[in-house]
């Protein structure tokens, strides 16, 4: 039996609208008491543009021979499957995000990890959409092989939302520890536009015959215009979903997993849609 997994944008917007009052109620007490001038004076708020295309990122194509152009500045994320560093493209002074797979002990596991990252790089490079994180290329440095993308100003959506609620509720935290630019971003952030952008990016991925595979707010990035960009995807092809690779199967128990995944089923379009709905709840 076919299951209709498409979520009309009208439904998505409706979810956003119903969540809006609850979100406002949760931050309103702190917002009202907040004496930070950035939150109360239109003259001091550097207004950010609305969600605009990702064309603001420079066009940059890197290859393994360009390793001398990249300097790695600092490690920012240490995850179970990969590590992320902030890097710099020295000719342009452009900040980069450089990602390296974490190698698991054992020859079979190492080969599988390399294959998954080769697949990710090849597929990611073919995706061109306003709500997909751009891919700059693959470079080989002395410490390993890295996937390279632009550094995104506001980080991941999950961390952004947590920081936003904390700063709206605590004036001293906002004024003492958060930049004016970040506070302005907290003020103009648009939940409905963000949900629409995430859904648009996911629909594009599905239209390319792919599955995101790890849809959640932590894997949505916000650029300097607050445009949501999907990243950190598994990008499995739909015709590969019967494979037994750990890159296709999903372990652990999380709120983003559909009931079928908890029972050992493979990922598919409808499991991405389930994860999208849980991302909206976030």
Tens-digit pLDDT profile for residues 28-46: 343 344 444 443 433 333 3
Average pLDDT value for residue range 194-220: 91
What is the structure's pLDDT at 197? 96
For residue 213, pLDDT beyond 60: yes
Query: What is the SS3 assignment for 62?
Result: strand
Task: Return the structure tokens found at 210.
Answer: 């792919």
pLDDT at position 123: 86
Q: List domains and CATH numbers for the chain.
A: 9-51+161-281 (1.10.510), 54-150 (3.30.200.20)
Angstrom distance (rounded) from CA 157 to CA 178: 16
pLDDT of 242 strictly over 50: no
Per-residue tokens: 117: 């990252």
Q: In sequence order, which residues have a C-beta less than 8 Å from that of residue 111 and are 6 or more positions away?
A: none
State whether residue 72 is helix, strand or coil.
Answer: strand
pLDDT in tens, 93-132: 889 998 887 655 444 455 566 677 777 788 888 899 999 9
Q: Is the pLDDT higher at 9 or at 74?
A: 74
Confidence of residue 18 (pLDDT cuts 50, 70, 90): very low
When pLDDT is averaged across residues 122-144 and rounded to a whole number, the result is 86
Query: Could you give phi then psi for residue 75, rounded to 5 degrees?
Result: -80, 135
8 A C-beta contact, residue 86 and residue 95:
yes
Side-chain half-sphere exposure of 133, counting CA atoms within 13 A: 28
CA-to-CA dists, residue 91 to 31, 59, 60, 66, 94, angstroms: 43, 13, 11, 11, 8
pLDDT of residue 255: 64
Mean pLDDT of the chain: 70
More confident of the two residues 170 and 163: 163
Residue with tokens 């917007």: 13
Query: pLDDT value at position 265?
Result: 63
């Amino acid at each position: 039996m076919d299951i209709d997994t498409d979520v009309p944008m009208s439904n998505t917007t409706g979810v956003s609208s119903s969540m809006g009052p609850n979100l406002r109620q949760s931050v309103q007490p702190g917002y009202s008491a907040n004496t930070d001038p950035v939150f109360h004076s239109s003259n001091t708020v550097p207004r950010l543009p609305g969600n605009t295309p990702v064309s603001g990122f420079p066009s940059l194509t890197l290859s393994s021979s360009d390793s001398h152009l990249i300097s790695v500045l600092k490690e920012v994320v240490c995850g179970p499957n990969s590590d992320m560093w902030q890097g710099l493209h020295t000719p342009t002074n452009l900040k980069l995000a450089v990602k390296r797979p974490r190698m698991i002990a054992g020859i079979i596991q190492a080969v599988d990890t390399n294959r998954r990252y080769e697949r990710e790089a090849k597929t990611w490079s073919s995706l061109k959409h306003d709500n997909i994180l751009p891919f700059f290329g693959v470079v080989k440095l002395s410490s390993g092989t890295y996937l390279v993308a632009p550094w995104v100003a506001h980080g991941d959506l999950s961390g952004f939302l947590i920081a936003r609620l904390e700063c709206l509720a605590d004036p001293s935290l906002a004024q003492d520890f958060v930049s004016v630019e970040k506070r302005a971003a907290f003020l103009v952030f648009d939940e409905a536009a963000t949900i629409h952008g995430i859904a648009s990016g996911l629909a594009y991925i599905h239209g390319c015959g792919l599955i995101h595979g790890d849809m959640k707010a932590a894997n949505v990035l916000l650029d300097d215009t607050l445009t949501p960009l999907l990243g950190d995807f598994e990008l499995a092809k739909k015709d590969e979903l019967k494979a037994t690779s750990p890159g296709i199967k999903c372990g652990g128990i999380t709120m983003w997993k559909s009931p079928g995944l908890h029972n050992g089923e493979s990922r598919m379009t409808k499991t991405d849609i389930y994860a999208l709905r849980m991302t909206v709840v976030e």
